[in-house]
Structure 1
Amino acid sequence: MEKRLGFIGIIIENRNETAGKVQELLTDFGDQIVCRTGVPYREKGLSVITLIVDTTTDALGSLTGKLGAIEGVSVKSSLAKK
């Protein structure tokens, strides 16, 4: 399956309880992550992580599905058409 460039946006609502689980998954998929940025938004008690990925649709679906299954984590993603 062909790899394509894309992004994943992750919002973490309860950082203290979920950050470790998110980090573990990102480490597991680390070979597909090109760039990662993270910003804690303390005023709202949220953290936001954006990833640039070079991956297949299957791997993207696997990662985003696992992230989305973590309570307090919201995920959106997209891949380039080519």
Structure 2
Amino acid sequence: MDSRIALIGIVVENTDSVEKINAILHEYGEYIIGRMGVPYHKRHISVISVVMDAPNNVISALSGKLGMLPHVSTKTVYSKLPASEAQQ
């Protein structure tokens, strides 16, 4: 199955959504290469970056599920590298 590298940027405007975000990210853990969260106390938000190596439909599904949560915004950036066969 073709796999791509993508970065999902997540802005969390309310900490009530954090538990649901973590549960969703856990579901997709096998595709996540790394993740970094940065609290921005001055603006009362958190910013999370998630790097994935996954098929397009998996990346889109994760981004969509996160974006549907209240007080959560997402944006996905795909690598320009050509899709490649995932290593088994």
Q: Sort the TM-score into its range (normalised by shorter chain).
A: over 0.9
CA RMSD of aligned residues (A): 0.8
Residues 1:53 and 2:52 are matched in the alignment: yes
Residues 1:8 and 2:2 are matched in the alignment: no
The corresponding residue for 1:33 is 32
Structure 1 residue 6, shift from structure 2 partner: 1.2
The corresponding residue for 1:65 is 64
Residues 1:18 and 2:13 are matched in the alignment: no
Structure 1 residue 79, shift from structure 2 partner: 1.7
The alignment partner of 1:71 has SS state of: coil
Structure 2 gap segments, 5+ residues each: 83-88
Instruction: Give the number of the structure whose alpha-carbon radius of gyration is greater.
Output: 2
Q: Percent identity among equivalent residues?
A: 36
Runs of 4+ in 1 over 3 A off after TM superposition: none
Structure 1 residue 64, shift from structure 2 partner: 0.6
Structure 1 residue 4, shift from structure 2 partner: 0.9
* Structure 2 Cα separation of the partners of residues 55 and 79 of structure 1: 11
What count of residue pairs does the alignment treat as equivalent? 81
* Structure 2 Cα separation of the partners of residues 73 and 62 of structure 1: 15
* TM-score (norm: length of structure 1): 0.94
Question: 1:1-46: per-residue Cα shift (whole Å, max 9, x none)?
Answer: 300111000000001x100000000000011110100011111110
Instruction: Tell which deviates more after alignment, 30-39 or 72-81.
Output: 72-81
Structure 1 gap segments, 5+ residues each: none
